[in-house]
Amino acid sequence: MNYLVAKVTPTDVTVIIDGKHKRIRKDSPDAELVIALVKQYNSCNILTERVDIITKIEELCNPAKKIEFNSDGRFEFDGNSAMYLKGTSDPIPEFLAKKLLEYIAKGLNVEALVNFWKNTLLNPDKGVRRQLFSFLEHNGHPITDKGYFLAYKAVGIKRKYDAETGEEVINVRYDEDTGERIEEKLSQSMTFKPIHNGPYGSTIKVGEPITMPREECDSDPEVTCSAGLHVGSMEYVHDFGHGDKVILEVLVSPRNVVAVPTDYNNTKMRTCEYYPIAVTNGENENVYLESDYAAFDHACMEDDIVNYEESKRDVIKQIEDELTERRTVADSILSS
């Protein structure tokens, strides 16, 4: 019966399997588990269990294999340096790989990250994808089960005004016992407005998506304040606006991110759509879930992913056909 040897140094743990060195950093939370698995392997006489132990050691020593195994094969390692979501041809970024390993370490379901990456692939601007990863990494915004992320928006209360006098209509309430005026409480049922008005999203209600045509949004990250629906981190919105502002919690799909301005230290972004779900500094009478937004979210994501990959194949085929045609013309000229 053959045995495994784990060589432990101050920096690494190395196991030789079939003549290949499998290495993991000593400060990795999985290093001690690798050593324990080597001991378990050497004391085991059952072939199938030994094979399973080898697989586990290889997985722990190779982050890509770890992701592949724990995602039930939904993310695939190409054997070199890239990982792909099964059925797609864009390698996942380092940000997503780190997130996957973080979820796996915490025992979380990676389905949220699968959906997040699908939504990201459907963003037509590859440049803004990289901006989005920096934004999320800097602010730590949560990613939801449907693949959206949480952000915030500072808004004002949309008041009503008398048509004749132009004065603000105020509904004042008084305490029946003391006669004192009851201060108005911020409520989810209120109608809100953006701090800076634009042609879109001038009326904001919790539970109703706010949209504008993507082509009318400014996608240049070098332009600070420009056309688009603005959301940001809590750090950004907390210092934005005036004293009586309201801060809304909103859902944003990665496919709808348009730009992350460079001079706001990854705390602000422009989108073409967001979904308000709650008032962070007021009362919420109803519970709005991401499933409510998913029901609205236009087009089926799975169909969109298929169409995205097919369009890429069509472009490649068109290029190949053009090259073939050019070769034919060149051969004809040379032979004449």
| Tens-digit pLDDT profile for residues 294-309 | 776 755 556 666 666 6
As a whole number, the mean pLDDT across the chain is 81
Mean pLDDT of 220-230: 90
Same-domain status, 256 and 319? no
Q: What is the rounded distance in angstroms from the CA atom of residue 252 to the CA atom of residue 272?
A: 9
- Residue 239 is encoded by which pair of tokens? 């210092």
Give the 3-state secondary structure of residue 126: helix
| More reliable by pLDDT, 165 or 108 | 108
Q: Are residues 165 and 293 in the same domain?
A: yes
Are 289 and 174 contained in the same domain? yes
DSSP 91: B
More confident residue, 171 or 294: 294
Determine the pLDDT at residue 160. Answer: 64
Q: Are residues 281 and 314 part of one domain?
A: no
Better-predicted residue by pLDDT, 92 or 70: 92
Both 155 and 265 in one domain: the answer is yes
Q: What is the 3-state secondary structure (H, E, C) of 32-76?
A: HHHHHHHHHHHCCCCHHHHHHHHHHHHHHHCHHHHHHHHCCCCEE
Does 120 score more than 70 pLDDT?
A: yes
What is the arithmetic mean of pLDDT over 67-78?
85
Contacts of 258 (CB under 8 A, 6+ apart): 125, 128, 214, 217, 218, 219, 228, 269, 270, 271, 272
DSSP H helices in the chain = 31-42, 47-61, 63-70, 94-106, 111-121, 126-139, 234-238, 290-296, 301-335
Query: Is residue 62 in a domain?
Result: yes
Quickly tell me which residue has 């472009």 as its tokens.
315
The reply to whether 135 falls in a domain is: no
Q: Using 50, 70 and 90 to split pLDDT, how confident is the model at 269?
A: very high
Where is pLDDT greater, at 166 or 89?
A: 89
DSSP string computed for 219-255: --TT-SS-SSEEEE-HHHHHTSS-TT-EEEEEEE-GG
Helix (H), strand (E) at residue 147: none
Mean pLDDT score, 85-96? 88
pLDDT for position 63? 81
Please tell me whether residue 5 adopts helix, strand or coil conformation. Answer: coil
| Closest by Cα among 195, 261, 184 to 222 | 261
Do residue 288 and residue 324 come from a single domain?
Answer: no
Give the integer Cα–Cα distance in Å for 257 and 66. 30
Answer for the pair 15, 22: CB distance below 8 angstroms, yes or no: yes
**Domain with 232 in it:** 148-298
Band of the pLDDT at 180, cuts 50, 70, 90? Answer: low
Span between the terminal Cα atoms of the chain, in Å: 72
Residue pair 39/26 in contact (Cβ under 8 Å)? The answer is: no
| Band (225; pLDDT cuts 50, 70, 90) | confident
pLDDT tens string 1-22? 688 888 888 888 888 888 888 8
Q: Is residue 336 part of a domain?
A: no
Q: Are residues 104 and 72 in the same domain?
A: yes
Residue 79 falls inside a structural domain: yes
Residue 286 has pLDDT above 80, yes or no: no
Pair (105, 226) in one structural domain:
no
Same domain, 159 and 289: yes
Highest average pLDDT, of 48-62, 124-138, 283-297, comes from: 124-138
pLDDT grade, residue 265 (50/70/90)?
Answer: confident
141 is a domain residue: no
Judgement on whether residues 154 and 259 belong to the same structural domain of the protein: yes
What is the spatial distance between Cα 264 and Cα 283, in angstroms, rounded to a whole number? Answer: 30
In this model, does residue 258 exceed pLDDT 80? yes
Taking CB atoms within 8 Å and a gap of at least 24, the contacts of 76-84 are none
Question: Domain for residue 133, yes or no?
Answer: no
Domain contains 31? yes
How many independent structural domains does the chain possess? 3
Return the pLDDT at 274.
Answer: 95
Please check whether residue 263 lies inside any domain of the structure: yes
Domain identity same for 38 and 59 = yes
Q: Clarify whether residues 267 and 167 are in a common domain.
A: yes
Lowest pLDDT segment from 21-30, 134-143, 274-283, 284-293: 284-293
Tell me the backbone φ, ψ of residue 152, rounded to 5 degrees.
-135, 155
% of the chain exceeding 70 in pLDDT: 75
